[in-house]
Structure 1
């Protein structure tokens, strides 16, 4: 185990912060210049991504890492191999579009802006994919990847192997499921911010509280959207592996639409929200303390998202993060969000219309805590296939802010699974 003060991390937190600053300035300028919402969102996504890509290439040498699977020499250009890969890639795109059409969930108005986004970027994705696939193919140690195998199958040829196709499918299901959610949320929240009068944020605590929540969640979904868009081997932000367990997927997907909202409505009345909790507190000082605690925990949650940079993604391993809030504890996002939910709903206990509502609300919070605990455990099991995570987990047993508790509560300690 590495006992030094620093553990290797797949990215750099200062570079990620610089990308966020670039995105913030760009979004602010778009608001000032009355740029159309779609162009404003695209510009903000680009402003976040480009500085990080550039600085990671220059400072972290991401294209030259062993984890990219690139060789030191170039392969001879094989038009046949590139053709099969492009067939596999475009067939994957076509399957995602078919699934979007098949499931009624994606016909809801919530996703209409996502379709505008896809139409806007589709021609560019098509054009860029050809030189990108050729470049990556020429540098890969093993150029006969899942795209090549899939392309051969679709062209009625025998593939070299079927083994990588399951991981290929799971990785694209992750991207196909989460990208619409994150982009639609990003567009919606950016629209909210575009009509927000920032000069009146401090006019009253309600405005400050709700604006703070919108800003923090906007940052969260901005980073998540970029993460699902830029899974690029060339920059070492590709998916290295995807969780293949049913339970891992279950505890993850239940935390997102459409499953989460359906469950939430069963336990907590629709009229109860964050503002209800704030206004249920009578004393101004207590209001301020509660508001500060909720926003602080949400801020910690967003810091955990920011730590991923270009590599945010559920259910996948895209390199091990050991910097930022991940130096303080494992799973800081889950810790912060669980505490956030508990604090946010504490005041609601005093205004619950009846004991049943109070009981079901508490039951919901307990269930949420259990779900996030199992999300952490299933992620650990998946990521532990990477030796870098094993080193990180063992290091955190001694250096985490929860290390003193873990000495007594052994379920908090990291135990490498035996495969």
Structure 2
């Protein structure tokens, strides 16, 4: 058993290294969140830059623009997390009284790239003189390039204030708006910028200005959903399905088993690659409001970060490895299983037998077909999420490592992120690789609807709606700093126990399945150590750090207690688990619960 655990740990380490090597360096953009503001009193302009990030930020320059003059301060220093940098500029008063656009900007480094943030306000000299013409700036989403529309009664006079890495390529004017085509000079970046538009004129010996604000979301990350064209995936799926349906080589058991697995891989690739387009298409023909609402949530999920890294860095490699490695593995290491006991072959035979109902034939179905269907659904749901989360956590951990500084809070944040990273790596490995050699073959899957509901409740997109019903009664209390520090240390320790439980499960780690009973590590003391750690963490965060409401905490507890109950009911179908329950009597806390 120790040898198997060692193999799993080594495989997880190799898996993490491969992910790090596959993700190009330009995707490691730091999780920087700066807030820029400024105000003026007489001829003194005060600029505030607040670092709301969890990492320190290196600031190059701070500057302001007023009445066609630029005032620059070369800072070249770091702002620590939750720290505010303040600088004052003494400006020359304008020649005319009235109102002027005043722009403040900060340029900062983000993983070696120089980015900027700008903020605009009005500067009043002697009196406030707004322009008669006004404007309205729309918030937009763009890729590498896109369009900004500013509505105005005088669009010919509209001027833009953009971050330095966005440039205007062209401008189109109409009687009601000015349309600007803008392009990002920085690739591999996803960021949200405020931008400003203003109109100024001179009338009655006064300078007059109107100002408006919008937001532009720039996503210049790759939007491709895998490199293999859909028609190639369909062709491969058809070929593998024909091997099953026509049983071309009845004695070639390994080929049949290989074809069943590869059909599921290629068809799943095609399905996930195009499901958002299918759902989008249905919106044109189904006008029900509830349907539109739910489909919009699903589309945001399929097109969001939970799938982006999966398509960008994983799915093509995964399919290529499966095409090359699966057949020799089945032939040399797993060729003694009867063909009618193979869950994936049974599932495909069931699918192929469905057309027979039109000629009064019975659909092929048995316990292995059911197990194959449930296993396929589990992997189809979890593999994209877990692989995307592993890559995202790799990026996050890389950023934390490169910006690491010693400090009690910083060390605890680093360790907490590391423990969560370890958990995602272990579970991702468990979902991706099912092997007789690792003794992690799926013996059974959760058979009840309630078991699936309470488990999927905790994952997107379902958790976007499911916990709202519990959201009431906000906990808002203040504690001495030493109490908060103790709580932060306890939270880190609990996340360590959570990661310990995941590592102990090793290749058997996955939800809704029985891959064999684990009796080591924290499972020697309680049957659900990971759930215990999570629930206590949430209560500590809710009570002492005011991060969750009382209702949310009760909702978390209810769901995870139900998960424990349904999992035990499922696993109790295994005699080994019944024996395990006799030796480990406590579900959550030793000697208590």
TM-score, normalised relative to structure 1? 0.70
Q: In structure 2, what is the equivalent of residue 242 of structure 1?
A: 445
Q: Partners of 2:439 and 2:332 in 1: how far apart? A: 14
Residue deviations 1:11-46, cap 9 Å, x none? 86566566667778x58xx97xxx45269x9xxxxx
Q: Partners of 2:11 and 2:346 in 1: how far apart? A: 36
Residue deviations 1:270-315, cap 9 Å, x none? xx9xxx99xx856332222011111111111111111111111100
Q: In structure 2, what is the equivalent of residue 308 of structure 1?
A: 505
Asked if 1:96 corresponds to 2:293, the answer is no
Residue deviations 1:326-360, cap 9 Å, x none? 001111111111111111111245xx9xxxxx8xx
Q: Is the 8 A contact 1:86 1:147 kept in 2?
A: no
Within 5 A, what are the aligned runs for 1:85-234? 85-100=257-272, 101-102=274-275, 104=299, 105-116=301-312, 117-135=314-332, 138-140=335-337, 144-152=341-349, 162-197=366-401, 200-203=404-407, 205=409, 207-234=410-437
Residue 196 and residue 137 in structure 1: after superposition, are their counterparts in 2 closer, same or farther (change >3 A)? Answer: closer
| More moved, 367-376 vs 153-162 | 153-162
Q: In structure 1, what is the equivalent of residue 559 of structure 2?
A: 371
**Per-residue deviation at 1:257?**
1.4
Q: Mind listing any 5+ residue stretches in structure 2 that lack a counterpart?
A: 28-248, 277-298, 357-361
Q: Is the 8 A contact 1:86 1:151 kept in 2?
A: no
Q: Is the 8 A contact 1:12 1:323 kept in 2?
A: no
Asked if 1:324 corresponds to 2:521, the answer is yes
Q: Partners of 2:328 and 2:306 in 1: how far apart? A: 34
Greater relative contact order (CA < 8 Å, ≥ 6 in sequence): 1
**Per-residue deviation at 1:383?**
0.7
Q: Partners of 1:152 and 1:262 in 2: how far apart? A: 37
Residue 266 and residue 208 in structure 1: after superposition, are their counterparts in 2 closer, same or farther (change >3 A)? Answer: farther
Q: Partners of 2:14 and 2:478 in 1: how far apart? A: 38
Q: Is the 8 A contact 2:307 2:384 kept in 1?
A: yes
Q: In structure 1, what is the equivalent of residue 256 of structure 2?
A: 84
Residue deviations 1:232-289, cap 9 Å, x none? 23432111110110000011110111122444566669xx9xxx99xx8563322220
Q: Partners of 1:162 and 1:193 in 2: how far apart? A: 45
**Per-residue deviation at 1:115?**
1.0
Bigger radius of gyration among the two: 2
Q: In structure 2, what is the equivalent of residue 254 of structure 1?
A: 457
Q: Is the 8 A contact 2:517 2:577 kept in 1?
A: yes
| More moved, 147-156 vs 244-253 | 147-156
Q: Partners of 1:113 and 1:304 in 2: how far apart? A: 26
- Give the 3-state SS of the residue equivalent to 1:233 in structure 2: coil
| More moved, 82-91 vs 120-129 | 82-91
**Per-residue deviation at 1:134?**
2.8
Q: Partners of 1:14 and 1:381 in 2: how far apart? A: 30
Task: Report the count of equivalent residues.
Answer: 339
| More moved, 314-323 vs 171-180 | 171-180
- Give the 3-state SS of the residue equivalent to 2:434 in structure 1: coil
Residue 342 and residue 129 in structure 1: after superposition, are their counterparts in 2 closer, same or farther (change >3 A)? Answer: same
Q: Is the 8 A contact 1:10 1:320 kept in 2?
A: no
Residue 20 and residue 285 in structure 1: after superposition, are their counterparts in 2 closer, same or farther (change >3 A)? Answer: farther
Counterpart among 535, 542, 550 of residue 362 in structure 1: 550
- Give the 3-state SS of the residue equivalent to 2:321 in structure 1: helix
Asked if 1:391 corresponds to 2:377, the answer is no
Q: Partners of 2:364 and 2:579 in 1: how far apart? A: 34
- Give the 3-state SS of the residue equivalent to 1:195 in structure 2: helix
Q: Partners of 1:237 and 1:209 in 2: how far apart? A: 33
Asked if 1:346 corresponds to 2:543, the answer is yes
Residue 164 and residue 194 in structure 1: after superposition, are their counterparts in 2 closer, same or farther (change >3 A)? Answer: same
**Per-residue deviation at 1:123?**
1.4
Q: Is the 8 A contact 1:149 1:159 kept in 2?
A: no
- Counting helix residues as a fraction of each chain, which structure ranks higher? 1
Q: Partners of 2:516 and 2:5 in 1: how far apart? A: 14
Residue 140 and residue 231 in structure 1: after superposition, are their counterparts in 2 closer, same or farther (change >3 A)? Answer: same
Q: Partners of 1:334 and 1:200 in 2: how far apart? A: 30
Q: Is the 8 A contact 1:308 1:321 kept in 2?
A: yes
